[in-house]
Each structure stands twice: as structure tokens, then as C-alpha cells.
Structure 1
Amino acid sequence: MWSVQAFVALSTLSGLGLAHLHADAADTQEPFVGWTREDLDAKWGTDYGFSGISTFAHLPHSRCLQYPETEYDIAILGVPFDTAVSYRPGARFGPRAIRAASARQTSFRGYNPRANLNPYAEWARIIDCGDIPVTPFDNALALRQMTEAYTNLAYTNVPAASSQSDIAYRRKPKLLTLGGDHSIGLPTLRALNKIYGNVAVVHFDAHLDTWHPAKYPSAWFDPNNPNEQSFFTHGTMFWVAHNESLIMENKSVHAGLRTRLSGIGDNEDDDAQGWTRFSTDDLDDMGLAAMSQSIVSHVGLDTPVYLSIDIDVIDPGLAPGTGTPEPGGWTTRELIRLLRAIDGLNVVGADVVEVSPAYDGSTEATALAAAQVAFEVLTSMVKKGMSANDPVGADVRDEL
């Protein structure tokens, strides 16, 4: 039983101890007065992989659509849209999952040995523009929202050049889109067309995505009416883009194909739209060097390219979190090596799509693969911008 005196004595000692601790803490605190921005950034501006708000690779965030004065060279843009899928939904959560999986990418540990550069610490201002708020209730409205958003962002100003040598790099901004289902390629191509004209598409996917909408049979729509809303799906968007004359014929490439077809007519339709096809098996038969060289030779180094990467090009045993899985795909390593081997292409926009994290399990394997693929694409964009052979950069240099 404690006596009253003992309790009072203990309380007094405890109070003195707490006061001492508070005094020590106060002594270690330094006021903000007199601190520079550099001081504050150095002390508080770094996140660990597991800390901080979830932006891609801890990049600075701006709601670019609300603040069009925001300047950048390359922007990450999420498009949480998945109501144009033909099988499993869930890719609306893809941008969130990819950002979370990119957490171990930081500017102070972003050096890419294969390219001998850190894309987050070079000439390019790279930011995360957040997501397009796309309606899940009306696909016609969603397509309008995405088209308007992409078009607005495509006209964003790039940062002012700090020197003449920088001007070669400061040209039109680029977007790397995190999907979302693959239908987001159509509004992107519409926006790019306004700036570059027709572009070539280098398309990594298990599926063609050039199908006529009537290949999804239905008595509810007129297959001869090209304005049907139901024609807009993640398997028909390149067909629609071809009909709108957005894609260069005889310059575009599919790679990684392995899906079942409705018949040989699917390939004939694809031929008529001017595509060249490489199957999954072609990588084994040709070898990686020959396939990558064939892609680059076919497309051309000066051609403006839209790089579109459906994560289902990877085998579902390695990337199960996707909406339309097809067994027998490439490994993550093979896809990344191919992307590295074609990094001389003039990529003016890119996407990584069809990550559906509900099917990914606890390993985050698909989201991790997508985050790494995005890192490789960013690296190639920055590396290309540093090249004296960059056709756009060369045009700017000629004007100096």
C-alpha cells in the first residue's frame, strides 16, 4: 500500500523528469526562422520507399488538368477506366497499384545501369499529374473526357531552357499513361494526331486490338454504324483509330501476340490496316536481337511512335493481375530487354495498361512489373532526349 507521502514524492520526481525531458527536446528544436528552401528540402524532403504520399516514384504531384500552367517535360498520368473491357474488370485500380509498386523508385536511387543515367536526375522535369476523373457510368462521356484531357495536356508548356544546349531537350511534353483498360489508346492517339499527325504504334500485347466491333456479336447494335458507342472497347480501339486515320500504315507493329482468333480473317483485317505482327513464339525463333532490330528497322528512328504496353503480354504465371490473361507469354525480363533494345525509337507518348490488382494476390507481381516497365520507358525517353540524333532535338538546334 502506497503512503500519501510516497505518492507525492514519486509524482514530484516524475514531474521533474518529464520537465527535464521536455527541456532537452526543446533544446534540440531549431526554429524555421533563417532556414533556406535548400535547408528544408535537405532535412525533410526525402522519403523512404515505404513513406510518403503515393505518387509514381515519389515524384512531385500536381493536378495538371486543374492547373494548366504547370510545366513539365514528362508527366505520369493515371486513367482509372475499365468499363470497355471484354472479360475481367478491375483495371480502374491499376494506376493506384502501379504507383504503390513504384515506391522503391526514388530520385536518389534511380540510376539505371543499362542506360548510364538516372531519369529522375537528368534534364527532364518529370511529375505525376494524378488521374483523369473518368466517369464509370457512360462510356461516350468517358471517351470525351479522356480525349479532352489528353489534348489539353499535350499542349502544356515545357520548362524554359536554362541554356542553349538545353533547348534541344525542351520540346513538346510527353505523357506516360498508367491504365486503365487498353481502350485509353484511342483518346491518346486523337490527342497526338493534333500535334504530330499520324504516328506509328508499337504495341506489346497478347491480342491484336484491331478487331472490327462486329467480332463481338450482338443483335443489339448495327454493325454498319461506325458511331455505335459499343464499338469503343479495349479490343477495337486501334480499328477505330485506323478508321479515323490516326495511325501510320505499314509502320505499326504488334509484338507478343498469342491469342485465339475468330478466324484467319482477323489477321487479314489487321493486314488491311497496315500492321506487322510478331508472335510470342517469334522471340524464340528469331532471338531478341533480331526481333528488336526488325521492329526498329520497320518503324524507323525518325518516326513519331506511340508505345503501348498491355501487361498481359507477360505470361499470367508472372503477371496474373490482368483482365484478359493468355497463357504462354513472355517473361518480365524478356519484355524489359526488348524495351531496352528499341530505346532508339522516337517515342512521343506511351502507356502501360490492363493492370487489374484484384487478381494480383499478395505479391504485387503484376503491379511491380508494370512499375519497372514504366521506369524503363521513362529512362528511354530521357536518354533519347539527350541524344544528338534525336530528330526533334535536331530540328530545334537548327533554329538556334
Structure 2
Amino acid sequence: MFPGATASGEKAAYAVVGAPLDVSTTFRPGTRFGPERIRRFARTFDDYDHLTGLHFSELSVHDRGDVRAWDDAPAYLSWLAGELGDAVADGAVPLLLGGEHTVSAAGVNATDPDVFVCLDAHLDLREAYDGNEYSHATVTRRILDRAGAGVGEGKETDGGADGRIESDGADADPGVEEAVILGARTGSPEEWDRAAESDVTVVPPEEVADFDVDAHLNGRSAYLSVDVDAADPGFAPGTGTPEPFGLEPREMRDVVRAVAPSAEGFDVVEVNDRDDGQAASLAAKLCRAFVYAHADSRERSD
């Protein structure tokens, strides 16, 4: 159980869900251990947050456990989106613990935001990676396209052995309006071409601290995804594709706090077991920062 997640499922305002998917990690696998490590390294944190004056254990957080992963990523995303959708239907904001970044597509599908905001070292705008359309390196492209299982709205095809979901026509949801990628510092030429289109905003690491993400959202709803590799690997070495010259933890925390009041859901992904807990500790702290900021915003608006 995530420390402090003491609420019952029926009354929860926030729902922790583990998604230990680890089928397309390119270089350093181990994201299947991410949810367990994030929970474990959250045990050292104080319950009380001085900035907001809130106690985590009093914020109605419930841990729904892990959704067991299997090798068929499209089918798993579809199932995971349904599980997260159940939490949303119960009135809870989903807190998804990955798992590889692919799982964010299910979170977006379950919450249906206007904008996908992502802290990430990589653009993840590939059409496919090594022939795989459902790679962790394609997740932002899939979210923009809303094409495929767990990403698009619609119905299962008659021959849906691959788990895909097709749009059923005029009522199709076109997907998010925009992807805002904060901290990106690498990508293929094709990805940078896609990033230049009007529905993508890329903020390089050196500009993140001065970027007013709240003003950019301008009242639109968001889904916030934190790929832990957005951090410089000196702070979070336990991730699959580390990329130097990244963000500092405080910069990531400030983004999380700024986006939280507008967010319909949150995830933190790409934590593996290849360090001494630095990545998991950062991920857990950012998850808690999201809950504190989101709950504080709700209390102030009541």
C-alpha cells in the first residue's frame, strides 16, 4: 500500500493504481518493479506538508493495488483504461504508478483531458519504434492520435484479436488538443518535425523554470505525466533511457504543483530497479506533491 493511502475505495478522492508494464523498455528493463519501489521509498516521508498545512493520510487516498500486466500492450492498455475509468466513475482522481511510459495512454483515455502535460527527456512522438506502435517511445504520438486500444474512443473491431479499438465515426473523440512536453532534449528528426506542429509545445530544460504552464493551460483541463527520466540522471539514475542535461527535482516539483489544480489525473513512470532508490524516491515525492497541491486547490475553491 502507498503510505498514507488509508481511505476506503468507496469514499476515496484519489486512487493509486500500479501499472507494472515492462514490455518495450529499450535499454535497461525493470519498470515492472516501479510501482512496488515507489510505494517502498515513500515510507520515509512525513505525513504533514508544511506548504499546504495538509496531512496526506487525511486527503482520502486509496490504493487499489496493481493491475497485473501481460505482453499484449494494446490489450493491456484497454483493460487498464477500464480500471482507471472505474476509479474516475467513483469520483477519484487516478494516481498511476508505472511501469513504462506507454501506460499514460490509458490514463489519458480514462480522464479525457484537454491537454496532455508531460515532463520527459524524450519527445516520444515516433510513429513506431522497432516496428512497435505501442512502444514507450511512441506514447505521446498515440495520445495525440488517440488511435488504438486504450487510446481512442470507440468500439472493438470484429476481428479484435490484437485488442485494438476503432472509432465508430461521427461521434469519435479527436483526442487532446495539445501535448506540452517539458524538459525534452532529444528525439529523431521525424519527431522534431512532428513537434513543430501546432498541437505540440516543447519546452527545453533550460526554459522550464520560466515557463508559466498555468497561463499556458488557460483554464483547460490537463492530464499530468511525469517520466522520471526528465530529471538529470544524476538525480534519478534508475530509469530505462537516461539522458544527461536534465531537470533538477525542484523544477519538476514546481511544474507538478502548478499543473495539479487543473489536472484530471496524474502518473509517474519509467522507474526501474537499477539504482539505490533515487528514482523511486523522487517519483514518490512528486506523487505526494501532486496530491497536496490538488487537494489544497480544491479546499481553496470550496
TM-score using structure 2 length: 0.84
- SS of residue paired to 1:178: strand
Corresponding residue for residue 374 of structure 1: 287
Is 1:355 the counterpart of 2:301? The answer is no
What amino acid is aligned across from residue 238 of structure 1 in structure 2? T
Corresponding residue for residue 231 of structure 2: 314
Change (3 A) 1:273 1:83: farther
Corresponding residue for residue 247 of structure 1: 176
Q: How many residues align?
A: 275
Is 1:133 the counterpart of 2:49? The answer is no
Corresponding residue for residue 156 of structure 2: none
Corresponding residue for residue 88 of structure 1: 28
Deviation at 1:272, TM superposition (A): 2.6
Deviation at 1:97, TM superposition (A): 0.3
Is 1:79 the counterpart of 2:4? The answer is no
Considering only CA atoms, is the larger Rg found in Structure 1 or Structure 2? 1
Deviation at 1:217, TM superposition (A): 5.0
Contact 1:355-1:366 within 8 A present in 2 as well: yes
Is 1:257 the counterpart of 2:173? The answer is no
Contact 1:88-1:324 within 8 A present in 2 as well: yes
Give CA deviations for 1:160-203 in whole Å, capped at 9, x if unaligned: xxxxxxxxxxxx3201111101000111111112xxxx421111
TM-score using structure 1 length: 0.65
Corresponding residue for residue 231 of structure 1: 133
CA distance in 1, matches of 2:259, 2:79: 31
Is 1:211 the counterpart of 2:126? The answer is yes
Alignment partner of 1:175 out of 61, 79, 94: 94
Give CA deviations for 1:94-137 in whole Å, capped at 9, x if unaligned: 000000001123xxx4221222322332xx411111111222x3
Is 1:57 the counterpart of 2:3? The answer is yes
Deviates more, 1:238-247 or 1:319-328: 238-247
Q: Which residues of structure 1 form unaligned runs of 5+?
A: 1-54, 65-69, 157-171, 219-229, 394-400
CA distance in 2, matches of 1:273, 1:231: 22
CA distance in 2, matches of 1:279, 1:366: 21
Alignment partner of 2:216 out of 298, 314, 332: 298
What amino acid is aligned across from residue 185 of structure 1 in structure 2? S
Alignment partner of 2:77 out of 143, 148, 161: 143
CA distance in 2, matches of 1:337, 1:140: 33
Bigger strand share: 2
RMSD of Structure 2 on Structure 1 (CA)? 2.0
Is 1:102 the counterpart of 2:42? The answer is yes
Q: Which residues of structure 2 form unaligned runs of 5+?
A: 147-173
Corresponding residue for residue 338 of structure 1: 255
Percent identity at matched positions?
28
Give CA deviations for 1:134-170 in whole Å, capped at 9, x if unaligned: 22x32233223212212222212xxxxxxxxxxxxxx
CA distance in 1, matches of 2:44, 2:238: 20
CA distance in 1, matches of 2:92, 2:120: 26
